[in-house]
Amino acid sequence: MSTRNDARTQTPHYEYVPIIDRPALELPGGARVAVLPYVNLEHFPHDLPGTAIIPGTQRFNPDPLNYGWRDYGNRVGLWRIVELMDECGMRGTVCLNSDVIREYPRIMEETLARNWAFMGHGMNNAPANFLSGIDEEREREIVSGVLDAIRVATGRRTKGWISPFLTHTNNTPRILAELGVEYLCDYTADDHPFPLRVPNGSLLAMPYSLELNDVPAFQNIGLSSEAFGDMIVDQFDVLYEEGASNARCMPICLHTFWVGQPNKFKHLRRAFEYIARHRDVWMATADEVNDWYRRNCMPA
């Protein structure tokens, strides 16, 4: 029997408040579910290892096998996703590597034209540029540089952040709040937004998902394309039922080089069209959920 009754080892970044002990969430217009499609728009430098479908060649430079597979997402896969989301009345929340602004101006043009939301996602997605283990000065330099680049490119302040591969330090929430960021997606702990502990400013944890996320689904769990589509539908059905009495957020996390592949996209289309046929659904961006939650659910 443990004697460490007074030694709590939960994360220092937020309180444990179970969903049964909170007021029911009431979304705009009586919506049962806020559907949040996150679209990861990422750049992988050609001479650095990155996400791989066949890891055995990652050590090579160049690595055309994995580089070309990833590049398919920006050249082709994204545009399937964009067209589908237009048809379904969805707008994306972009997890944006700041290098995308320089490397893929057409992507920026088209997503800006659709009034998608943009949140910081580091400089690029090479593991060499992950945030874990770096000192505070370097982290602050990276985060502020990314936020400034997105603000210049979009003409608006960046409200959200998701760290590359959800890697951050214990300084990250504080740095983000000090730089004016309002929500962070690194903690996938809830169906509702919830406050993070920061000494200055205000920072929310915004729902994100590792389950409804094509990278772990295909690369780590090994789901079939059909099963991933079924997972989206099943998740929606449960949240839609629960949302009749306590509304939920439903993040769907997409990477263009995975779910933008034709065999996988077929089932993404099926799932998105299924969701779009339902009433009482808020097709939202994370910026919109953040703004609404702050107006209606935060202490005055």
- pLDDT tens string 207-224: 999 999 999 999 999 999
Condensed to tens digits (0 to 9), the pLDDT of residues 10-21 reads 999 999 999 999
**CATH architecture of the region 30-296:** Alpha-Beta Barrel (3.20)
- AA letter at 24: A
Could you report the per-residue pLDDT of 121-146, keeping only the tens digit for each? 999 988 877 888 899 999 999 999 99
Instruction: Tell whether pTM > 0.85.
Output: yes
Q: Domain spans of the chain?
A: 30-296
Angstrom CA distances, 252 to 209, 231, 232, 271, 285, stand at 7, 10, 8, 11, 11
